Amino acid sequence: MMETQLVRRHLIDTDGLSLEEMESLFCRAAYWRDHPEAWFQTGKGRFAANWFLEPSTRTRVSFEVAEKRLGMETIPLDGETSSTMKGESFYDTLRTLAAVGVEVVVVRHAGIGTLAEMAWENPGVSLVNAGEGNGGHPTQALLDLFTMREQFGTLKGLTVSIIGDIRHSRVARSNYWALKTFGARVILAGPESMRDPSLEEYAPYLPVDEAIRQADVVMMLRVQLERHRETLFSSPDVYLHAYGLTPERVEAMRSHAVILHPAPVNRGVEIASELVEHKRSKIFEQMSNGVWIRMAVLERALEGGRG
Amino acid sequence: MMETQLVRRHLIDTDGLSLEEMESLFCRAAYWRDHPEAWFQTGKGRFAANWFLEPSTRTRVSFEVAEKRLGMETIPLDGETSSTMKGESFYDTLRTLAAVGVEVVVVRHAGIGTLAEMAWENPGVSLVNAGEGNGGHPTQALLDLFTMREQFGTLKGLTVSIIGDIRHSRVARSNYWALKTFGARVILAGPESMRDPSLEEYAPYLPVDEAIRQADVVMMLRVQLERHRETLFSSPDVYLHAYGLTPERVEAMRSHAVILHPAPVNRGVEIASELVEHKRSKIFEQMSNGVWIRMAVLERALEGGRG
Amino acid sequence: MMETQLVRRHLIDTDGLSLEEMESLFCRAAYWRDHPEAWFQTGKGRFAANWFLEPSTRTRVSFEVAEKRLGMETIPLDGETSSTMKGESFYDTLRTLAAVGVEVVVVRHAGIGTLAEMAWENPGVSLVNAGEGNGGHPTQALLDLFTMREQFGTLKGLTVSIIGDIRHSRVARSNYWALKTFGARVILAGPESMRDPSLEEYAPYLPVDEAIRQADVVMMLRVQLERHRETLFSSPDVYLHAYGLTPERVEAMRSHAVILHPAPVNRGVEIASELVEHKRSKIFEQMSNGVWIRMAVLERALEGGRG
């Protein structure tokens, strides 16, 4: 079959990307941002399927805009639940999409490790991980790093404090691997119950105030308080003052330091509402950058799809 | 930020539109109807998101056809329930859409007043109201008026009888404000339990037969009989003969008068089934006109979106 | 109205198609496969709606790719449940779609006979049956026959054994009528409880091993085991060995014979997992052919849609 002769360009996680590959993606992301006249051409007549087995408005919309800006045709599969797919394997669905002419499949799902396994089985499409369980979320990490790089010119030597629910965060993990590759320094912080021992081998765990004081980049994570509230926190306010970003903590930040958040934001939980559009906040800039990064990732996936 | 420098062209409700603005929309609607050779250009490469928090096949499809005929790229958000958006504010979602490059957001939702509030907060997108609770439904009113105007040449002096469930009808309200601006005369009719005192300050409430006899335009409203049946009406037939449009009542209409209905139609409830495609009925013409009106509204929204 | 003057080109089922019409569809399917340079033009600026009242990822995606490859604009209605359409007739929905400019409506639903009835009522759109209850699934049959014809050059005289849940299979029925028109010989096989007496007037019912031995084409049907398991089969394995395709049965096939399956496949139920991509299997080729056949069917529907 034709597709077995091709080099597929999957994006499974940041630990599979070299520094050079990430630099090349950043370079192309900047290109797409700066050259609207080049949009709507590269992917003309080529198909991407967006297979979202978990709901994710933000990430899905960002990918869809990126695909369309490349000129691609998009096939939504986000309404499909596991019951729709009843009796059919993940692999068979991917092979089916390949058979009808889809070249790139963007996948969001709850499992861990499935995408790596699928890539190995060579289903005839390029796979792009759009968030996999608690495992990884590489395009989020790439857009975060791109945003930092635009801000500071370089990633090497930067101190990035990731604060909040580390344990349940695929964002923390994918960021950690990518930042490590660039020689940035990562600090973790957050409540005891949300620590992740597997990452602490590499990054120190500091008190929140200390982590904020040392950081060039303060990355606040979304807290799914409904999971923790009853046992640990009596109210959003209690969490905010213990571990969230408050105006007082912003005062303690280094003068050039910036605020990141993968969004959606819980206003008044991990970040005070008035800080979301604070002058230090890059939150909506991250979202804009997400489109450029995803255009770069999709372009790379398409390069593997033909000749 | 760039978008704060722009004049956004929201469409919140008809009471915010001047006669001149509505005339201009009618003019552009007729242009789009008459010039298919101009389609697929104006909005090329520009994004609309259709955010339908309440299901509405008809209105959603009409907007989607209008967007595509303008050449726009469309992003559907209609599968999103409040749980998907959990923990994120209406405002943050709009800002996110703006950040990824969406210029127009068409919104259908159950709340009242939210869109006006959002427009005030300047979220970086043009907002178009596609039906807001019992509040307003401006594109429906505009397509109704456009249909009347095509039929009679003018709206001034026209007598329009709006009949049925006035109280729960955003269509009645938006029509009322627009018709008033043009100097048309509005009559209301329907069961006692479905009256809306707030509109009766401006428009008389007449018996159904009288309202039909005087009208140039008989506008039948959809009745959600399941809400009222047990307490008030023992069957659709009872409603039809008391307040619906029957062949006998059509006989009593003025010779030039026409029938309108915002659809979807409950055949055999507010209108006898055989009248839906009666020669006086403009019901399917209204739907066709809906596309032209929405193209005009979206064009106006886009004008606010760039320079 | 304009559309009543047009000849609509519905596709309701294969029993309404002559040999010449099917040959013409096969010819166009091969054309679309072989001429990618002709894609994205024929249907430019014209609208198809995909109205899937039953979920069907595979068929929906195949139609959507076909529509887009013809250059058409697509309107999804697959999220609509019967409750969304509450109080509106099937006919009114089709008339509405016609009114907003949709020319082709692809329908998947649970009822039987509705599409034939709708075609008769002339709703102003071309109807394409994408699977109707246990009734018919004509594009599946056409893609099956196209796959056989590509393999053997002709359909006349071919022996096709359809094996499995005949009774609940619209695929079996649509294939039967089409194969009969071409003078192919159909054999049926499967468990006693899944027989369909209405088809046995025309095609013999043989034991599975005998049906496989005689066939040029072994067409395995999907078994919805969850419907039958408790009463009839204690496990997938019991079914597989009694009625499914096993490596041993493949050994007994004629040397040139091929395997077909309408998919989605229940691996290990009606077919052993290792046979899905066996060298005799045309299963993924069927899926690719589905796009070419649907392009041909949509092109025919569009020819009826304009002058």
pLDDT in tens for each of the 307 residues of chain B? 444 445 679 999 999 999 999 999 999 999 999 999 999 999 999 999 999 988 888 999 999 999 999 999 999 986 555 444 545 688 999 999 999 999 999 999 988 889 999 999 989 999 999 999 888 999 999 999 999 999 999 999 999 999 999 998 999 999 999 999 999 999 999 999 999 988 888 899 999 999 999 999 999 999 876 666 556 677 889 999 999 999 999 999 999 999 999 999 999 999 999 999 999 999 999 999 999 999 999 999 999 654 3
Model pLDDT for residues A118-129, shown as the tens digit of each residue: 999 989 999 999
Which residues is B299 bridged to in the sheet?
none
User: How far is it, in rounded angstroms, from Cα A25 to Cα A29?
Assistant: 6
C250 vs C225, higher pLDDT:
C250
Model pLDDT for residues A63-91, shown as the tens digit of each residue: 999 999 999 999 998 655 544 454 568 89
One domain for residues A126 and A167: no
Evaluate whether B125 touches B94 at the Cβ level (below 8 Å): yes
Q: Is B263 annotated as a binding residue?
A: yes
Picking from A182-191, A281-290, B273-282, C109-118, which range would have the lowest pLDDT averaged per residue? Answer: C109-118
Q: Is A207 annotated as a binding residue?
A: no
Whether pLDDT at A264 is above 80? yes
Model pLDDT for residues C37-74, shown as the tens digit of each residue: 999 999 999 999 999 988 888 999 999 999 999 999 99
Contact A285 B99 (CB under 8 A): yes
- B29 interaction partners in chain C (CB closer than 8 Å): none
Among A114, A46, A34, which residue's Cα sits nearest to residue A304?
A46
Task: Name the average pLDDT for chain A.
Answer: 91
- C100 interaction partners in chain B (CB closer than 8 Å): 61-62, 65, 287-288, 290-291
Whether pLDDT at A105 is above 80? yes
- For residue C62, which amino acid is it? S
Evaluate whether C298 touches C28 at the Cβ level (below 8 Å): no
One domain for residues B95 and B217: no
One domain for residues B283 and B294: no
Model pLDDT for residues A1-42, shown as the tens digit of each residue: 444 445 679 999 999 999 999 999 999 999 999 999 999 999
Q: Determine the pLDDT at residue B201.
A: 84
CATH number of the domain within which B66 lies: 3.40.50.1370
Q: Determine the pLDDT at residue B54.
A: 85
Contact B61 C75 (CB under 8 A): yes
Percent of chain A exceeding pLDDT 70 equals 90
- For residue C200, which amino acid is it? E
> Distance from CA of residue B28 to its chain's centroid?
17
One domain for residues B142 and B267: yes
User: How far is it, in rounded angstroms, from Cα A65 to Cα C107?
Assistant: 28
When CB atoms are compared, the residue of B73, B87, B98 closest to A264 is B87
One domain for residues B279 and B152: yes
Banded model confidence at residue C12, pLDDT cuts 50, 70, 90: very high
One domain for residues B131 and B184: no
One domain for residues C122 and C185: no
Model pLDDT for residues C167-222, shown as the tens digit of each residue: 989 999 999 999 999 999 999 999 999 999 888 888 999 999 999 999 999 999 99
User: How far is it, in rounded angstroms, from Cα C8 to Cα C306?
Assistant: 9
Percent of chain C exceeding pLDDT 70 equals 90
A 253-272 residues with CB < 8 A to B: 263-267, 269
User: How far is it, in rounded angstroms, from Cα B215 to Cα B193?
Assistant: 23
Whether pLDDT at C116 is above 70? yes
Q: Determine the pLDDT at residue A142.
A: 98
Q: Is B137 annotated as a binding residue?
A: yes
Banded model confidence at residue C3, pLDDT cuts 50, 70, 90: very low
- For residue B72, which amino acid is it? M
One domain for residues B150 and B73: no
Q: Nearest CA of chain B to the CA of C96: how many Å?
A: 7
Q: Nearest CA of chain B to the CA of A303: how many Å?
A: 23
Q: Can you state the angle between helices B90-100 and A283-303, rounded to 10 degrees?
A: 50
Q: Is A57 annotated as a binding residue?
A: no
Contact A92 C276 (CB under 8 A): yes
Contact B95 A40 (CB under 8 A): no
Q: Determine the pLDDT at residue B198.
A: 87
State how many domains chain B has.
2
Contact C75 B58 (CB under 8 A): no
B 57-116 residues with CB < 8 A to A: 73, 75-77, 79-80, 84-85, 87-89, 92-93, 95-102
Whether pLDDT at C5 is above 70? no
One domain for residues B204 and B175: yes
Q: Nearest CA of chain A to the CA of B202: how many Å?
A: 43
Contact C77 B69 (CB under 8 A): no
Contact C65 A75 (CB under 8 A): yes
Q: Is A267 annotated as a binding residue?
A: no
Q: Is B86 annotated as a binding residue?
A: yes
Q: Determine the pLDDT at residue B1.
A: 40
Q: Determine the pLDDT at residue C4.
A: 46
| A161, two tokens | 């404090």
Q: Mind giving me the DSSP string for C20-84?
A: HHHHHHHHHHHHHHH-GGGTTTTTTT-EEEEEESS--HHHHHHHHHHHHHTT-EEEE-TT--TTT
- Closest-CA residue of C relative to A103 is C65
One domain for residues C193 and C111: no
H runs (alpha helix) in C77-217? 90-100, 114-121, 138-152, 170-181, 197-200, 208-214
Whether pLDDT at C111 is above 90? no
Which structural domain, as residue segments, surrounds residue B229? 138-287
One domain for residues B148 and B244: yes
Q: Nearest CA of chain C to the CA of B264: how many Å?
A: 6
Interface check C210 vs B, CB under 8 A:
no
Contact C92 B265 (CB under 8 A): yes
Contact C61 A92 (CB under 8 A): no
One domain for residues C102 and C148: no
Q: Determine the pLDDT at residue C79.
A: 55
